[in-house]
Amino acid sequence: MTSNSNLSNMRRMVEQLKLEASVERIKVSQAAAELQQYCLQNASKDALLVGVPTGSNPFREPRSCAVV
Amino acid sequence: MRSPPIPEMATQEVQLSETLAHLKTESDTLKGKLEEERAKLHDVELHQVAEKVEGLGQFVMKTRRTLKGHGNKVLCMDWCKDKRRIVSSSQDGKVIVWDAFTTNKEHAVTMPCTWVMACAYAPSGCAVACGGLDNKCSVYPLSLDKNENLAAKKKSVAMHTNYLSACSFTNSDMQILTSSGDGTCALWDVESGQLLQSFHGHAADVLCLDLAPSETGNTFVSGGCDKKANVWDMRSGQCIQSFETHESDINNSSEADREVAIYSKESIIFGVSSVDFSLSGRLLFGGYNDYTINVWDVLKGTRVSILFGHENRVSTLRVSPDGTAFCTGSWDHTLRTWA
């Protein structure tokens, strides 16, 4: 019966919403501060961000030529 | 055999619709409460918090290698943990393993279907997983013997009732997470092919997934055609949080706890097909349908670079495991590594 499946769908949705409402949340300002801290702390290890000394990034080295 | 008296049936129907109405009110109230809670916590924008952070300088990033070999659109790629090997899959039905430093092809497998939309490298580097229109995710152990026929060792792990859109090994070679056009995600045991957990909640095709990066990670996020990004608990199968976002399908997802910033620029009118963060999370790379790659400053919300090179849509993009390069795959049949 369609109305029975509607009912169980609705019940499931309500349960799901209750679950989501109960999740602990923090303010965006706090999350943003944590994100920023993480980025800045790890910046020096980020090769694409700061670059690496010439010769130590294997992808930046030109491929050696092979005679086919 | 007497049919139920009409008044009794009518009462049942009335009770049913009263219950439905009651549930609808409850769900509307909860939705309202959720919105209120989220709005209360949205006290500032990320770029405001990051105002004092030094801006980024000019970036010199270009194509360092071009991997040619696929006969049709490249749909997916993944890095090996050794930071140099790459697996890619294509509409041509082939899955190729490359050495990205030398551009040599190390292995090639022909799948029984075209449109191999998903591929993943096992953490050990000893196997790859792939699938697509065959509705399955299969694992191929990689052999050191180049002449060995990989297809012979193929192991079918996942079975969905529609196309496989994405797959990823968890922390080990033993488990695979999949997402499908059938609207579900699932966690499988590779050895036995057993379904360990299924994740229901998307109302339409699930297009992408990403695992939380932590060692003890037990959550992942999935994005779908229902415009939702759902965060799941892998152990219980429950959806912990759901984000409704974007104007159309979510094609790619990166694990971040909440939507704190939206990266957009009026001049960009083409969709982004794939995204990934740099190692520190400061840069966000996006592969677009207009053939370009846009590089964003995550904290400031500004675009810092636009990269050209591909001759068709960029369909897949991933940063290497140690963050020294990123790789893109395109409908122009090639893959490129950038650094």
- Residues B139-155 have pLDDT tens digits of 999 987 766 778 888 99
Interface predicted TM-score of the whole assembly (ipTM), two decimals: 0.79
CATH code at A51? 4.10.260.10
pLDDT over threshold 90, residue B50: no
A-to-B residue pairs, Cβ atoms closer than 8 angstroms: 152
Query: Counting beta carbons within 10 angstroms of the beta carbon of residue A11, is it exposed (0 to 12), middle (13 to 18) or buried (19 or more)?
Result: middle
Joined together, the tokens standing for residue B197 give: 């957990």
| Interchain contact B10–A (C-beta under 8 A) | no
Residue B152, both tokens: 């012979």
Average pLDDT for residues B95-109, to the nearest whole number? 94
Beta-carbon separation of A28 and B43 below 8 A: yes
Tell me how far apart the alpha carbons of residues B102 and B310 are, in angstroms, rounded to a whole number.
20
- B275: amino acid identity, one letter: V
Query: Beta strand pairing status for B206-211 and B185-189?
Result: unpaired
Which positions ≥6 away from B123 have C-beta within 8 Å?
B81, B169, B171, B172, B173
Predicted confidence at residue A52, as pLDDT, reads: 72
The neighbour count for residue B255, using CB atoms within 10 Å, is 16
Between positions 124 and 183 of B, the ones with CB within 8 A of A are none
Quick check: B27 and A63 CB within 8 A? Answer: no
pLDDT at B49 over 90: no
Structural tokens at position B66: 């071009």
Q: A16 vs B282: CB contact, 8 Å cut-off? A: no
Are B174 and B217 spatial neighbours (Cβ–Cβ below 8 Å)?
no
> Do the chains contact at A42 and B279, CB–CB below 8 Å?
yes
Query: What pLDDT shows up at residue B270?
Result: 53
CB B287 within 8 A of CB B275: yes
Length of chain B (residues)? 339
Total number of domains constituting chain A: 1
Residue that the structure tokens 């992408």 belong to:
B208
Separation CA B96–CA B117 (nearest Å): 13
Q: What distance separates the 2 farthest-apart alpha carbons in chain B? A: 85
The region, left, alpha or beta by phi > 0 then psi within -120 to 50, assigned to residue B2 is beta
Extended strands (E) in B123-249: 127-131, 136-141, 155-159, 164-169, 175-180, 185-189, 195-199, 206-211, 219-224, 228-233, 239-244
> Cβ(B174)–Cβ(B184) under 8 Å?
no
Q: Is the pLDDT of residue A23 over 50?
A: yes
Q: If you average pLDDT over residues B70-79, what whole number do you get?
A: 97
A11 vs B23: CB contact, 8 Å cut-off?
Answer: yes
The token pair at B32 is: 């309202």
Average pLDDT over residues B20-42: 86
Cβ of B53 within 8 Å of Cβ of A40? The answer is: yes
> Mean of the pLDDT values across residues B157-163?
95
Number of neighbouring beta carbons within 10 Å of residue A44: 10
Q: How high is the pLDDT of residue B70? A: 97
Q: Which residue has the tokens 């579900």?
A: B184
Residue in B37, B242, B257 nearest the CB of A31? B257
**Alpha-carbon dihedral B235, B236, B242, B248, rounded to 10 degrees:** 70
Q: What is the pLDDT of residues B239-292, one digit of tens each?
A: 988 877 654 444 444 443 333 344 433 334 456 788 888 888 899 999 988 999
Which single residue is written with the structure tokens 């890619």?
Answer: B88
Output the six-digit token pair for B170. 């968890």
**In the block, residue with structure tokens 């910033």:** B261
Residue ranges making up the domain that contains A54: 1-67
Predicted model pTM: 0.84
Q: CA of B121, closest CA in chain A: separation in Å?
A: 20
Question: What is the distance between the alpha carbons of residues B16 and B279, in angstroms, rounded to a whole number?
Answer: 54
